[in-house]
Amino acid sequence: MRTLTFLVVSALLLSAQAPRRDVVVVTGTYEPIPLEEAERAITLLPVAGQRLLAASIVDFLKLDPSLDVRQRVPAGVQADVSIRGGTFAQTLVLLDGERLNDPQTGHHSMDIPVPLEAVGRIEVLRGAGSALYGADALGGVVNIVTAHPEASEARVRAAAGNFGVNQQSASLSGLAGEFSGHLSFSRDFSSGFMPGRDYRNLGASAVGRWRASSLTLGAADKAFGASGFYGDYNSWERTKTWFAGLRQALGERTSASFAFRRHTDLFVLLRDRPQVYTNRHAVEAYQGAAAA
């Protein structure tokens, strides 16, 4: 299947550029450290500045040959990722250092609650990380880091193509003294390459930073047709994810964080006859950490 996509992109810069920082801090480790001090094999996938080359976070993960990325639906609506031959349940997914792995199934670990426009880079830590993160990091860790605005700007992106592809995204960044904020939204629709394989992908996020504090809010709504995937049935599935994370630096090497994640999964075996079999599942997870 080949998809022809036409992009219309516009960007409006509203103020002077902020000074760039040359030091890359790896947050995919238990304690954030400079990249040159990391003792494990880590790959940085730059997202900021290259978003026009991809339509989803999954597209950037495919750039790392050590990652095995499997998708049920295009645009990262439902995807699995594994590292160096491990299973998708043995790969830990983080958002700004906070866990996203789902207790229900590893199939939902890649339900990232922020759009691509909110991502600055992706850190891939290859090799066992269970000693620090638990059994689900046996293969490695994928840490998605939100972007730090370097200017006050607004960006709009739109795309259209065959198979009913219809995409829109927008982001707004602002700098005011020691405060920086970023709002983003994305919408991705398609009628599918065959009947019963349509999908809809919605995402929104808000990230705010002030001095040593940061707050991340995100939500994702993904619905897709799975005709023929779970057997000879015209199935349908919809997942929703809500995320809130708060991090506070208490010193040069001391920090505390708290995060909340809610995930729901609605599965319909027969899309035209939902009364035959419908399954609803909801998971709420809380996490807190302190590092010194």
Residue 12 lies in a domain: no
pLDDT grade for 5, boundaries at 50, 70 and 90: very low
> Domain end: 146, 166, 181, which one?
146
For residues 267 and 278, the answer to whether their CB atoms sit within 8 Å is: yes
pLDDT given at position 36: 56
Q: Please check whether residues 234 and 122 belong to one and the same domain.
A: no
Note whether 286 and 164 are same-domain residues.
yes
Instruction: Say whether pTM exceeds 0.75.
Output: yes
Within-domain flag for 264 = yes
For the stretch 237-270, pLDDT in tens is 999 999 999 999 888 778 899 999 999 999 999 9
pLDDT grade for 10, boundaries at 50, 70 and 90 = very low
> What average pLDDT does this structure show over 195-210?
94
End residue of a domain, out of 92, 127, 146 = 146
**Using one digit for the tens of pLDDT, what is the confidence trace for 44-97?**
888 887 887 788 888 888 888 888 888 877 777 888 888 877 788 888 899 998
Residue 197 lies in a domain: yes
DSSP character string of 75-133: GGTEEEEEETT--GGGEEEEETTEE---SS-GGGTT--SS-GGGEEEEEEEES--HHHH
Question: In 3D, which of 207, 211, 62 has the Cα closest to residue 120?
Answer: 207
The boundaries of the domain holding residue 187 are 153-291
Residue 29 and residue 112 in one domain: yes
Residues 97-154: pLDDT tens digits? 898 988 888 788 889 999 999 999 999 888 766 667 777 787 888 999 999 888 899 9
Burial 42-61 (b: 16+ CB within 10 A, else e): bebbebeeebeebbbbbbbb
Domains in the chain, number? 2
- Residue 95: alpha-carbon gap to chain centroid: 7
| Contacts of residue 203, Cβ cutoff 8 Å, sequence gap at least 6 | 112, 113, 114, 115, 184, 185, 186, 218, 219, 220, 221
Instruction: Single out the residue of 262, 261, 270, 266 nearest to residue 239, CA to CA.
Output: 266
Judge whether 224 lies within some domain: yes
Q: What number of CA atoms fall less than 13 Å from residue 119's CA on the CB side? A: 29
Tell me the pLDDT tens digit for each residue of 269-286. Answer: 999 999 999 999 999 999
Residue ending a domain, among 146, 178, 210, is 146
Position 6 scores a pLDDT of 32
CA–CA dist 269, 105 (Å, integer): 18
Q: What pLDDT sits at residue 23?
A: 58
88 with 194, same domain: the answer is no
CATH classification at residue 62: 2.170.130.10
β-partners of residue 260 are 244, 286
